Amino acid sequence: MAAEGIMAELEMDEVRSIWTSQPTAPRAMSQQEMLDKANKLKFAGRSKLALFSALGILLVVFGVNDHDIRFAFGKFIVACLLVAGWETAYGFKNELDILSLGLNAGTSSSLAFYRSELLRRRSFFESHQRTLAPALFLVLGSLRFVALSLRSGAFINLTPLGVFLAGWLAFTVLRKRRELPAIENEILALNLIERR
Amino acid sequence: MNLSGSAGQDALYQQAIDTYGSAIERLARAYEAAADKRDDLLQEIHLALWRSFQVFEDRCSLRTWIYRVAHNAAISYVVRQSRVNSAGFASLAELETAFEPGQYEQQVERRLVLERLFKLIHRLKPLDRQIMLLYLEDMDATTIGEITGLSPGYVRTQIYRIKAILKNRFHGSGGHHG
């Protein structure tokens, strides 16, 4: 039994030795590299903000002139872009501030940190406002276009609105159904682990 | 963001990379299989580590601090990538029964052993992955518990499972590698 135990231990040691002897080339990042990385992260955030601001201005411009059906359609398209952009840039990834990560990552155990990340993500999926607000925004953004289309009898104009709204709702609901149970299960598993 | 760190912060960061740089690289490989994305993750870990030394006040050992920050940064990365439990991830308990003894060749090259290890690690849920990595980095249950916040008893159980899984996967290959 002792010999078998030693053999098993040797094998474990061998696997660990293979693991730890992987070729690596560790190197500290220079101040400049840190700055570049931080700026890159900041730039990504600022680019999104700039894009959203530009779209916001465009929305106002189209909104002011939306008695013309072309502008009303433009307003609807911009509203779609804003909703899709919001979902892609913030909703889908639900990014946290990576730059402040280091300040709390050391003081939390991995268990606590992981739980907080899961809870943050769960609250994102559970929030009705997050689901309804973009839908409401989209409806409001398309009201004038719908009204003008109905008035002129161009019912075909409602197709893009219907397609986008249905697509967006399907995307949101499917994503929630796919991700929320996995997150819930993971939180339950953490609860069980903590009780042990 | 203020990047003009104090001398102490810079010194701690340099010490961390000098001592644990290789382990951090291995950790990044274990959390991200794609090489191009791995560099991003590695940079995020470095940045988080450097920032963390602003508030490091000897509350725990430097090693515990470094591993906590690195793993938490990686966990955050996993959650952000929506990979909490997307299809592939399994717990150690599930993997324990998934491999039959003798299923794998007796003699595998070092590279193949690593490939298998990575395949195994990439399938694990974040906390189990962390235990596995810390175990492979030669840490005991108490130290792993200190880093992860898990009870040493639970960690010991998981290590037992890890050993069983590794034994099944690599049985017989150990003595053939120099």
- From chain A, pick out residues whose CB is under 8 angstroms from the CB of B79: 114, 117-118, 121
ipTM higher than threshold 0.85? no
Q: Does any CB of chain B come closer than 8 Å to the CB of residue A80? A: no
Residues A148, A69 contacting (CB under 8 angstroms): yes
Predicted pLDDT of residue B93: 62
Q: Do B43 and A8 touch (CB under 8 A)?
A: no
Q: Do B82 and A92 touch (CB under 8 A)?
A: yes
- pLDDT cut 90: percent of chain A above it: 2
pLDDT along chain B (178 residues), means of 10: 65 90 92 85 88 82 91 84 54 56 48 82 89 92 91 91 82 46
Tokens of B151: 């009870």
- From chain B, pick out residues whose CB is under 8 angstroms from the CB of A103: 51-52, 54-55
Tokens of B35: 């090489």
The pTM score is 0.70
Q: Does any CB of chain B come closer than 8 Å to the CB of residue A95? A: yes
Q: Does any CB of chain A come closer than 8 Å to the CB of residue B142? A: no
| Whole-angstrom distance, CA of residue B17 vs CA of residue B1 | 22
Q: Do B148 and A111 touch (CB under 8 A)?
A: yes
Predicted pLDDT of residue B77: 83
3 state SS of A54: helix
Residue A34 one-letter amino acid: M
User: pLDDT of A72-107, one tens digit each?
Assistant: 889 989 998 888 887 776 654 554 555 566 666 777
Considering only alpha carbons, which residue of chain B is nearest residue A16? B136
Q: Does any CB of chain B come closer than 8 Å to the CB of residue A1? A: no
User: pLDDT of A34-79, one tens digit each?
Assistant: 777 777 777 777 788 888 889 999 999 888 888 888 888 899 899 9
Q: Does any CB of chain A come closer than 8 Å to the CB of residue B151? A: yes
Report whether pLDDT(A155) > 90.
no
Predicted pLDDT of residue B94: 57
Q: Do A117 and B76 touch (CB under 8 A)?
A: yes
| Whole-angstrom distance, CA of residue A173 vs CA of residue A185 | 18
Return the higher-pLDDT residue of A86 and A145. A145
